[in-house]
Amino acid sequence: MAGIAPVQLGVFAFIFVAVALVGVFASKWRKAESLNNLEEWGLGGRSFGGIITWFLLGGDLYTAYTFIAVPALVYGAGQVGFFTVPYTIVLYPFAFVVMPRLWSVAHRHGYVTPADFVRGRHGSDLLALAIAITGIVSVIPYVALQLYGLRVVFEAMGLGTTTLGTGLPLFLSFVIFALYTFQSGLRAPALTAFLKDTLIYAVVIVAVIYIPLSLGGYAPVFDSARHALAAKPASAGAAFITPSSMYSPYATLAFGSALALFMYPHNVTGTLAAKRRDTVRRNMAALPAYTLLLGFIALLGYMAYAKGIHVSDPNLALPRLFQASFPNWFVGVSFAAIGIGALVPAGIMAIAAANLFSRNIWTTYIRHDSSPSVQTWLARIVAVVISALALLFILAIKTTFILNFQLLGGVWILQTLPALVFGLYTRWFHRWALLVAWAFGIATGTLMAVANAFESSVYAVHLGPLQFSAYAGLIALVVNILVLLILNPLCKLARLPAGADETTADDYEAEVEDDPAPAAA
Amino acid sequence: MAQHDPAPEEQRRPKRAVNRGWYALLILPFVATLVPPFYARIEPKLGGWPFFYWWQFLWIVITSLILALVYRMTTRRDKER
């Protein structure tokens, strides 16, 4: 498989550039009077209907990295990779209940970011700052991982593993990507998400029908995986069926990740860009279609075994499987699908982080009088800076570090849940209790990651008779909530000022038609 | 009026009111997929798929159906778009 694959590379480059150009010109789509405010640049004018929202959120949740990492985990370790299935199952009942409330209150008050809501609800700039910084810091390694997904594809196409071999195409991809985000804002990923997922659905449907057929059905796929996993040394921790020692890590990883996902700023952005509350509700009911796709993508890791793919880097399992199964041109198409799969979520993530910086750090703390136009220009620049940082990460820092950073990002973002989700239901929690509890959650999560030498997000708890292993993010969240429950009455007893709540109970259920008659827009 | 089927009841309700009891159904996916001892085994197989795998895939479909049902039953249909 040495040497450059010209057909694959040609098809890849053609599709990738064509789709990126669509993104650049997306600013002309549903043209706003001006892109110079964050409602337009950063939220696409809150105008997206059901289908676009479905693709946008789908593009957000299932990324290039998912495509590479999930089959890689399944190939390398077996069953544990399938935690992504219950994860993306329970995700939707949770989001179905919670996210429409966030949409409604954001619609009523013009909130663009999760930190905007926290500020309005709890009357605390400081708590909003904590939420904003957590969001930005957690999202940067996520963007970097998208570029990492791209790099794996470049590597598979024979561009080598050197900085020059994959560095140059990565840099070119970055330029295209920066241009696209800078120019069109959220309209770019929204429009290209449709193309991305059409390609991905096509590729995955072909793959999960065609590959097992060529292998004699699903039974040999499972059988060969079972044997290959059993043959691995015990130290590899590979298993075909979850062993009892892994029950708790499996379940807590799934549950914790599901709670964390919609705390990420880019997924909030995807949700708030919807036109109606009903669009959000309907989408949460329709999005599990993507989970089915994800489940089959995970199975591709097993198909690699059945196809006799042997790679030392599990990340190459899926690209090598495609190369061994498909004609060159279709390999190019599938790699392009992964490549665009990097562009779309990376765009939304960079935009979401830029919105946070512009509104909740710059405008709150540095220049209170920033006009919408200044806020937007700032966000555009920050989006490019964040992408550049991610590129620097991927070129200069070891991949394992980025992976660890991303795991830690998941642990951190989960600690914003009490301020955000509890806040959607009650004002009972005091802003200072929320802030200190957040800090405890972050500290606990970070310490557990350090104790694990960043090698695993599963932490073994030994508290006297209580011994179990669980997802560090969820343990930290429990600590977070316990601290909150202890401090909350103390804050009230001490009569600390609770801050003003600018929302009303009615705001959380509001649909577009419930709006008061609009003032002249 | 000993009506146990909640669907007609929901239709009878006045504008805006929906039966929130339907939301309770959303607990099912959590119970079915977050307790691995229930399903972490090979038998019974289905079409070559070990139980561990087909059970979780099946719940993707069931969860979609539950969400669709809850969405329908808790949406105010009497309001015009």
Give the tokens for residue A189: 């990923």
* pLDDT one-digit tens code per residue, A119-148: 999 999 999 999 999 999 999 888 888 888
Tell me which DSSP letter residue A83 carries.
G
pTM: 0.89
- Chain A contact present for B20, CB below 8 A: no
Instruction: Report H helices in A262-327.
Output: 265-272, 277-286, 288-306, 317-325
Lowest-confidence segment of A126-135, A149-158, A243-252 by average pLDDT: A149-158
Confidence of residue A2 (pLDDT cuts 50, 70, 90): low
Q: What is the mean pLDDT of chain A?
A: 87
Whole-number Å distance between alpha carbons of A105 and A115: 13
Whole-number Å distance between alpha carbons of B4 and B41: 38
Q: What is the ipTM of this complex?
A: 0.89
Instruction: Report H helices in chain B.
Output: 6-12, 27-33, 51-73
* A426: CB partners within 8 A, 6+ apart: none
Predicted local confidence at residue B11, as pLDDT: 46
> Which chain A residues are Cβ-neighbours of B18 within 8 angstroms?
none
Whole-number Å distance between alpha carbons of A300 and A74: 8
> Which chain A residues are Cβ-neighbours of B56 within 8 angstroms?
82, 85-86, 89, 295
For the stretch A310-313, contacts whose Cβ atoms lie closer than 8 Å and that sit 24 or more positions apart, written own/partner, are A311/A75
Nearest to A513 among B35, B40, B79 (CB): B79
> Which chain A residues are Cβ-neighbours of B75 within 8 angstroms?
278, 281
* pLDDT one-digit tens code per residue, A468-479: 889 999 999 999
For chain B, give the longest Cα–Cα distance. Answer: 51
Residues above pLDDT 90, as percent of chain A: 35
Predicted local confidence at residue A146, as pLDDT: 86
Whole-number Å distance between alpha carbons of A91 and A96: 9
Whole-number Å distance between alpha carbons of A179 and B47: 49
Predicted local confidence at residue B5, as pLDDT: 46
Task: Kindly report whether the peptide bond that precedes residue A141 is cis, defined as omega within 30 degrees of 0.
Answer: no
Cα three-residue angle A365-A369-A370, rounded to 5 degrees: 85
- Chain B contact present for A281, CB below 8 A: yes
Predicted local confidence at residue B3, as pLDDT: 44
* pLDDT one-digit tens code per residue, A272-326: 999 899 999 999 888 888 899 899 999 999 999 999 888 888 889 999 999 999 9
- Among B26, B31, B34, which would you mutate to test the A interface (most chain A Cβ atoms within 10 Å of its Cβ)? B34
| Model confidence at A162: pLDDT above 70 | no
| Model confidence at A420: pLDDT above 50 | yes
Q: What are phi and psi of A196, to 5 degrees?
A: -60, -50
Predicted local confidence at residue B12, as pLDDT: 43
Predicted local confidence at residue A392, as pLDDT: 85
Buried-state track A439-468, b at ≥16 Cβ within 10 A, e below 16: ebbbebbbebbeebeeebbbbeeeeeeeee
Whole-number Å distance between alpha carbons of A458 and A246: 10
**Is-contact A50 A331, C-beta < 8 A?**
no
Predicted local confidence at residue A1, as pLDDT: 45
| Model confidence at A415: pLDDT above 60 | yes
Q: What are phi and psi of A468, to 5 degrees?
A: -160, 165
Predicted local confidence at residue B16, as pLDDT: 55
> Using CA atoms in the order B38, A239, A146, B59, what is the torsion angle rounded to 10 degrees?
-20
Residues above pLDDT 70, as percent of chain A: 96
Q: What is the mean pLDDT of chain B?
A: 79
| Model confidence at A520: pLDDT above 50 | no
* A376: CB partners within 8 A, 6+ apart: A35, A36, A37, A38, A40, A41, A42, A358
**Is-contact A410 A457, C-beta < 8 A?**
yes
DSSP bridge pairs for A469? A460
Give the tokens for residue A414: 């989960």
Query: In 10 A of CB B13, how many CB atoms?
Result: 13
* pLDDT one-digit tens code per residue, A16-66: 888 888 877 777 776 666 667 777 888 888 888 888 888 888 877 778 778
**Which amino acid is located at A424 in the chain?**
L
Nearest to A219 among B23, B41, B48 (CB): B48
Confidence of residue B17 (pLDDT cuts 50, 70, 90): low
Is A463 in a helix, a strand, or coil?
A: strand
